[in-house]
Amino acid sequence: MREYLTMFLAFIAIILFVIAIISGFLMKSGSDVSDNLLGEDQIGEGSVTGAKISDGTITDQDISDAGISKIADNSISIRHLNSAVLDALMGLTNLTIVDFGDAETNSIDGSLLKDSTVTDAKISDAGISKIANSAITSDGIKDGSITLDDLSSSIADILSGIGSGSSFQGNVIVDKIEYSTPRTHYYSLGGEHFQPLATVDYASGGGCGGAYLISGEGKLVAPVNLPEGAAIDSFKVYFYDKSTEDMDVYLKAQDLDSCSYVEIAHVKSNANSGYYSSEAAIEPTSNVVDNQHYAYHVLAESDNWSSSLKIKGIVIGYTIGEVQ
């Protein structure tokens, strides 16, 4: 009987030992698990960020399905995606993307287009549609909001006229073309343009040129056509004079609304030395051409014409500020 009791106690001891080993293992495992588990209150605010996802600090394996639902809306933007992700999503490489909020109004301007910072490849069809129609206009160039610095050198050369050999092809439609500073032009008439006011014998041109009545008293007249708005600056008359008689030459404007003439300039022959010219002073109150109300002409008269007294021609200098 004593022998059986000893065997029973030994069996109980073995069972308790096994139970102790198993309990110790379970307790250690539980401790390890609890050490690696964090409650929601132990995760810092904003500790899961787009930047950490971008640089690989936090990976897909670090975020449970429940955790994904707790990421704030719009907290991951395009700038948080790395190039590999963009390539996979869009099939594009070497692509620079910025948030719409980072793009400034009017960030695509003339200077960036000029120096190729912004190229056709960087503007989508949708983006092109958002660039205002006729964004570069003549008004913008005129008021200075668009300068030559905003345009390519070839366009600037054409517009400013400084391009060597630049030329236009096709139609150019503008309201007007103004000179940077007013330019002086010249209008000339030869003897062949003159004819008598009355039916008398006269000569104009031929030989050495010049116009005159064959003899006696009379007047020769020639029409003048100058641009609207031109300012008449000078009036020079060319003579052939081997006579002792004189000739008076006038630049006049006929008032079309009345029976009157306005004298703009007057030259009188003053020598008998052959070929010479004489220039007149201009009447400043009537020197601006007004083709709507006046017709212009040159009148030459003498009391005793001859082949020794001829008007060779006239040259009128005028200034104008725009192309006619």
**pLDDT level of residue 82 (50, 70, 90 thresholds):** low
For residue range 201-216, list pLDDT tens digits in order. 999 888 899 999 999 9
Q: Cβ of 212: how many Cβ atoms within 10 Å?
A: 25
Residue 58: band (very low, low, confident or very high) from pLDDT cuts 50, 70, 90: confident
Average pLDDT, whole number, for the chain? 77
Q: What pLDDT, on a 0 to 100 scale, did the predictor assign at position 272?
A: 83
Q: What integer pLDDT is reported at residue 270 of this predicted model?
A: 86
Report the pLDDT averaged over residues 257-279: 93
Question: Band of the pLDDT at 252, cuts 50, 70, 90?
Answer: very high
**Whether the predicted pLDDT of 196 surpasses 90:** yes
Residue 261 pLDDT class (50, 70, 90 cuts)? very high
Task: Tell me phi and psi for residue 196, to 5 degrees.
Answer: -75, 155
Task: Say if residues 295 and 238 touch (Cβ distance below 8 Å).
Answer: no
The predicted-structure confidence for 145-155, as pLDDT tens digits, reads as follows 777 666 666 66
Of the candidates 211, 189, 223, the residue with the CA atom closest to the CA atom of residue 299 = 223
Query: Are 185 and 320 a contacting pair, CB within 8 Å?
Result: yes
User: CA-to-CA distance for 193 and 222, rounded, in angstroms?
Assistant: 6
How many C-beta atoms surround the C-beta of residue 207 within 10 A?
Answer: 9
**pLDDT for res 21:** 72
**Given this model, what pLDDT does residue 48 score?**
67
Q: Would you say residue 33 has pLDDT above 80?
A: no
The encoded tokens of residue 186 equal: 């010249």
Is the confidence at residue 184, as pLDDT, over 70? yes
**Contact present, 226 and 316 (Cβ < 8 Å):** yes
* Token pair recorded at residue 294: 């006046």
Q: What is the mean pLDDT of residues 49-53?
A: 71
**CB 195 within 8 Å of CB 220:** yes
Assigned CATH topology for domain 182-322: Jelly Rolls (2.60.120)
Give the pLDDT mean for 317-322.
93
Q: Collapsing DSSP states into helix, strand and coil, what is residue 166?
A: coil
Question: Mean pLDDT across the stretch 246-253?
Answer: 97
Instruction: Give me the pLDDT at residue 163, please.
Output: 47
Report which of residues 22 and 259 the model is more confident about.
259
Please give the residue that has the higher pLDDT: either 169 or 292.
Answer: 292
How much is the average pLDDT of 247-276? 94
Q: Give me the pLDDT at residue 104, please.
A: 53
pLDDT tens readout for residues 295-314: 999 999 999 999 999 999 99
pTM over 0.85, yes/no = no
| Whether 322 contacts 267, CB under 8 Å | no
What is the torsion angle, in degrees rounded to the nearest 10, for the CA atoms of residue 269, residue 273, residue 277 and residue 280? -30
Beta strand 274-280 pairing with 211-213? unpaired
CA distance 209 to 83: 86
Q: What is the pLDDT of residue 175?
A: 75
Instruction: Give Cβ neighbours of residue 188 (< 8 Å, ≥ 6 apart).
Output: 313, 314, 315, 316
| Cα torsion angle, 122, 126, 132, 133, sign | positive
More confident of the two residues 36 and 228: 228
Can you tell me whether residue 206 is helix, strand or coil? Answer: coil
